[in-house]
Structure 1
Amino acid sequence: MDAEAAFVRQLFTKVLSSNEALSCDAVLLSGGLDTSIASETLKLQAGSQLRTGITVTIDPAHNKPGLFSNSEPQDIHYARKIADKLGLEHHILTPTLDELFFDTGDEESALELCVRVRQTFDGMELRNAVVIAHALEHAKAIGCQRVCTGDGADELFAGYSFMQGMSDGDLQKYTLNMVQTMSFCAVPLAKGLGLEVWSPFLDPRIVEYATTRGASRDFKVGQFEGALHGKLVLRVAFPEVVSAGRKKEPIECGCGTTVMPALAELAVTDEEFERDARAALDKHGIVVRDKERLVYFRTFQRAVLCGGDGDQNKSLDRATGAGSSAFCPDCKFRLRDGTSFCSVCGLYPARPIAKD
């Protein structure tokens, strides 16, 4: 192990021996590198309360035929290995896509919770967020109080493939921008459920390392076990963890919600889409671009745009006229500073991208 990796290992061990870490009694166990490092290192610390791992996966046998392959989702494969290694009580949740994404008429669904808390109908956000919400709802139901996640590792350590081809300077600049704009659903969702969420990668000491001493691309991107990976220094620092060589996968791929666009195509007819998309434009001035977004927009309209009497909520920060670059042209919601991506409807670019 080189000196930089040894420093990172020591730093993470220090962070994971803090009182904030030791009080975590559960981990959202996706089986990825980030939760593998967090859970395996945390479990070694004296006084660790970690006892439960929670993994969500869509069971192909319980869903629409033809949407899934017959192979086991990768999250389950790795998560089982980690849970077995650590002796965790492993809760594997297998909701149907209908249970996650469509209104049940009973208690608030995972989708409704996500839409209400995150105020979005963007598919990329919600395909990931509903998995987190379902896991957190289960954590609350079984009496957990503080949940560990792997949030922040991809943003800070070049975990996304598009970051791996950047020059050293561009990567450092992009990482610094990520620190200013990154947002994770687990914290607000947990707050809405009366839980706490904590991630070692968002500890100020880790953030400082990733943006200063560890900002070099050489520490973040390179060959590991015969393949090019991001988060290189983390893999070298923790080569013994179960998922050290696992490639990066979005949550939706690892658990199976990536098929939601195809399910929406089956669930919404062309006539329904044309009718409801036109109504969204006429009533709210919002462009709904595809059937998946329409499924989410129906919940968004009820939970965010409209009150109990059906009147539009006038307090929302939306454009009252055309032409302002601070507002998304599709949904008219204000854009977050420093980003061209609309967090409400998912439009990209939602405003011109600045060129150097």
Structure 2
Amino acid sequence: MEPDACLSLALDLMRAVGDELRSRGCDTILFSGGIDTSFVALSAVKAGLRPRLITVLFPGSRDEAYVDLVASRLGLELVKVRPTIEEAMRCADEALTAIETIDPIEVISASAVCLGLAKARGLGSKCVATGDGGDELFIGYDFLLDADPGRLSEWLEKVIRGAFFNSVPMGSRLEVRVYLPLYSQRAKEIALRASPGCTVRPVRGRPFGKYLLRLALEAHGLVEVAWRPKDPITRGSGVELLLDSMRRLITTEEAVSLARATSIAVPSYPHAYLLKRRLTLGLSLPPRHKEGSSCPVCGRQLHEDHCPFCGAYVGKGAVSVYSDELYRVTGPLRAP
């Protein structure tokens, strides 16, 4: 497709997002200054809405300059949440309660979401919109940027059938109404029309995902954000520093003992901390999966080659999981 056709699709999506925000009464956006949440904020403004933006920022956050820029350009109220480590760790406990997992990346991401939603609740927000679904439907992940059209079609079919977004269980846990306008039925229909020519496209010699969203941001004066590299919420908000906190809260001896007791080859100190914390909080562990495909790391059931409990991805004979030096010790401890 030509760029003009892609921009036309983006404007269709913008109208769809604006309509959804108005009909749902969303008055707040959980905001990172990235492609997806900036597109949602721009769509709201173009629909005549004036949502409040809430952003979570830890020391070292990469998001702050972008959230300041977008809020200023769009003339929207911006609320910055600067949590303490203690507050973030309490939200990590909330994430463990809401989601059956010990995946550190999932938990710290959900912790950042929890902090933003808690602020929204305190401010009396009626509905909080997120940017969830943008990466999935409009191809924002780096590992898909060199995929062929057939692989992209398979991916899109899979995520349209279903995808997990931690903002949904976190919203339920905190009793905050959360809505995902970039994962609505209309967004899915536009994604099917856009793929692959308007989702992944080379620009200045390198491939960019979410091409149509980027075009729309650039066309509306947000060029600095439009061609921003992707930063996941963990890096953008700076919440990844919680991983170091978790490492300091568990010893190697404790981690090995947990691995032996549970037959889970905890691949990192943060995994071990979160496993210990689940047990301390009296939260159940999912049963071991004995039929069909099971996770080679923790023995739990795989879903679409992914283990939601430990976070491992399994495919083409390889296993990818967040790990550190602990895995050299615990790897052999998993029971068959």
TM-score normalized with structure 1 length: 0.80
* Bigger fraction of residues in helix: 2
Report 1:145-156 matches (<5 A): 145-156=126-137
Question: SS in structure 2 opposite 1:74?
Answer: coil
8 Å Cα contact 1:9-1:238 kept in structure 2: no
User: Is 1:110 aligned to 2:100, yes or no?
Assistant: no
Stretches of structure 1 that go unaligned for 5 or more consecutive residues are 60-71, 102-108, 307-315
| CA distance in structure 2 between the partners assigned to 1:255 and 1:11 by the alignment | 26
2:65 corresponds to which of 77, 80, 97: 77
Deviation, 1:265, is 3.2
With 3-12 and 29-38 compared, the bigger mean Cα shift is at 3-12
| CA distance in structure 1 between the partners assigned to 2:253 and 2:280 by the alignment | 21
With 20-29 and 262-271 compared, the bigger mean Cα shift is at 262-271
- The equivalent residue for 2:4 is 2
| CA distance in structure 2 between the partners assigned to 1:23 and 1:118 by the alignment | 27
User: Is 1:205 aligned to 2:174, yes or no?
Assistant: no
- The equivalent residue for 1:318 is 287
User: Is 1:345 aligned to 2:310, yes or no?
Assistant: yes
Deviation, 1:349, is 1.7
2:87 corresponds to which of 95, 99, 108: 99
| CA distance in structure 1 between the partners assigned to 2:274 and 2:315 by the alignment | 19
2:295 corresponds to which of 328, 333, 339: 328
Question: SS in structure 2 opposite 1:24?
Answer: coil
Distance 1:268 1:15, change over 3 A: closer
Deviation, 1:326, is 4.0
8 Å Cα contact 2:127-2:178 kept in structure 1: yes
| CA distance in structure 2 between the partners assigned to 1:229 and 1:274 by the alignment | 42
| CA distance in structure 2 between the partners assigned to 1:77 and 1:111 by the alignment | 26
Stretches of structure 2 that go unaligned for 5 or more consecutive residues are 319-336
- The equivalent residue for 1:54 is 54
Aligned partner letter, 1:3 = A
| CA distance in structure 1 between the partners assigned to 2:161 and 2:235 by the alignment | 27
Question: SS in structure 2 opposite 1:331?
Answer: coil
8 Å Cα contact 1:22-1:45 kept in structure 2: no
* Matched pairs, number: 313
2:25 corresponds to which of 16, 23, 26: 23
- The equivalent residue for 2:112 is 131
Aligned-residue identity in percent: 28
Distance 1:205 1:189, change over 3 A: same
- The equivalent residue for 1:65 is none
| CA distance in structure 1 between the partners assigned to 2:101 and 2:53 by the alignment | 28
8 Å Cα contact 1:265-1:291 kept in structure 2: yes
Distance 1:125 1:179, change over 3 A: same
Report 1:180-329 matches (<5 A): 180-211=161-192, 213-216=193-196, 218-224=197-203, 227-239=206-218, 240=220, 242=222, 243-279=225-261, 281=262, 285-303=263-281, 305-306=283-284, 318-319=287-288, 322=290, 324-329=291-296
Deviation, 1:129, is 1.0
Q: Deviations over 1:25-67 (max 9, x none)?
A: 1111111011101112202323x251x11111112xxxxxxxx
- The equivalent residue for 1:176 is 157
